[in-house]
Structure formats: C-alpha cells, structure tokens
Amino acid sequence: MAEFTAKDVMKLREQTGAGMMDCKKALTDAEGDFEKAGELLRERGIAKAAKRASKIAAEGVVYAYTEGNTGVLVEVNCESDFVANGAKFHEIAETIAKQIAKAKPATVEELLAGEFEGRTVESYVQEQTGVVGEKVSVRRFTVYETAGFIETYIHMGGTMGVMLDFGCAPTAEAKGVAHEVALHTAFSKPAYLTRDEVTAETIEKEKAILKQEVINEGKPEAIAEKIVMGKINKFYEDNCLLDQKFVKDDKITVARLLEQAGAKGALKRFVFYVMGQGLEKKQEDLSEEVAKQVEAMKK
C-alpha cells in the first residue's frame, strides 16, 4: 500500500472541493493512488457535489423536530422546488434536525464539523448533494431545551416554520392554546415576545421617524409628541407577540388568550423562519434555459 501525506489530502481537497475526511478515506481506499482517489470521489458523488458549490441554493424547507425536552427548527436549502418537495430531501432535513437535537451545536459551522456516522456532517451534506443532484446546504437552525414543552408548526410543507417554548406542563388546555399561538405567530410574524425585548435605541429611532412624519402632516411639534406616544403603543401592538391582537379574536391580545387558558407567563420564547427569506434566487430567461438544454443534448 502506497503511503500518502497530509499534503496529499489537502491537494485532493483543493482539486475536488470534497471534505478532508472524504479525501483521506478516498486516498486510503485507493491505496495512495491520487488519480484513483479522485475517481472514487466522483463515483461517490462527492466531487460532483463540490462542483455545485457555486450554485445558488435558494429553495428548500423549514423543518421542525422535537425529542423529549429538545426542539429544533432548521432551514435546509437546495436549488429547485422540485427537489425541495421530494420525500428524499425531507428525509435529509429530518436527519440533520435529529443530529442538531443530539449534538446541540452553537453554530452551523460547529454542526458541519461534528461527527456523524463515521464522517463529518459536512461530508454527509456533500454526499446528499450528489444523491439529489443539487447543492444541499444548511442555512440556519435554532435549538430550544425547555423545562416545559415545545410546540411547533410547519406551514405548507416547509415554506415557513414556528417553534415555541412553553415553560409549563403539557396539559391538553396548554397544548391547545400553544397550537393557536403557533398559528397566530405564522400569520402575524412578530419581531419580539414582549415590550421589554425592544431596545431603547429601536424605540428612539422609531419615535424620530414618527415625529417627523406627524410634523410633515402639519401638526405642531407640541401636539406631535403626544401623537407619537400613541403611535409607539401601536408599534408595540404590531410587533410584540404578547401585545398583538389574537388573529382569531381581535377583542383579546395573545397575552389575554394565554391567561384565559391558565398559561399566563408560560410562553418563554419563540422563533420562526420563512424559507429562503433574504436569499437571492437564480433567475433565468426561458429561451436561455431551453438553449442550454439543447446544447447539452449535443454533447
């Protein structure tokens, strides 16, 4: 068996874009034969995955997973809605979510560097890129550990996801109101849980904008101050989950809804993801796409 060095592993990684562990395994399996190792990576779909690294992965799913007192909300991306809607891609998202629940990494980088079934999570993701034929990437995730229970809601097969941490016993009534609040959160998309979470800087900035807006409407500055305070209360009502009017009954707030269900103060935190939010989506002219396909058929 021919020996190989760390430099060989690095060189193979640079040429193929595959992970370090994958390159090392390929060189081991190829008995140090550099060319054969590269072929093995291509056969395993890993080199193919590396070639897709520059692709835009702006489709995908938001996936929720709970196990015991741990909850995970994760966004996994691919390149097309066709792949995103497939059972295999949802299986990949579930595998990643379970790994997050188990390892509880702090960042995506820490997650990808972690060990998973004899290789890194990054290697697993690259392998799946080869399997589905599109770039697969983990964009973000949130992990909650709770003293109570986790409530999750996934909208339309993964276009949006909500996760709530309730610090109370999972009684039937508490679970029922938790579901209602999860649906409300998906609809209203609050920025904060309570008023206390809004920074003084944010409020001062909002006041300045609102004051100028009122003055531009022709109101005297003395009156503008009072009007702004009323508008700030409206800001809280629009942006703070507990202050929001409940979507199914605008006569009560979400805080009041929880109180009526015996869960006052039980909601500790929440998070929601809108799939692909902020990501650039690849736009291609139809004629250009057809031309590409015709050209590909000639090869």
pLDDT at position 117, please?
Answer: 95
Domains 6-51 and 59-192+268-274 are alike in CATH topology? no
Buried b (16+ CB within 10 A) or exposed e, 93-129: bbbbbebbbeeebeebeebbebebeebbbbbbbbbbb
The CATH label, of 1.50.10.10, 3.30.479.20, 3.30.930.10, 3.40.50.1000, for the domain at 59-192+268-274 is: 3.30.479.20
Instruction: Residue 189: name the closest of 252, 262, 277, 259 by CA.
Output: 277
Convert the pLDDT of each residue in 220-270 to its tens digit. 888 888 899 999 999 999 999 999 999 999 999 999 999 999 999 999 999
Q: How far apart are CA 60 and CA 29, in angstroms?
A: 34
Convert the pLDDT of each residue in 69-90 to its tens digit. 999 999 999 999 999 999 999 9
pTM of the predicted structure, to 2 decimals = 0.75
Please, which pLDDT band fits residue 1 given cuts at 50, 70 and 90? low
CATH T-level assignment (fold) for domain 6-51: Helicase, Ruva Protein; domain 3 (1.10.8)
Domain boundaries, the chain: 6-51, 59-192+268-274
Q: What is the mean pLDDT of residues 112-117?
A: 96
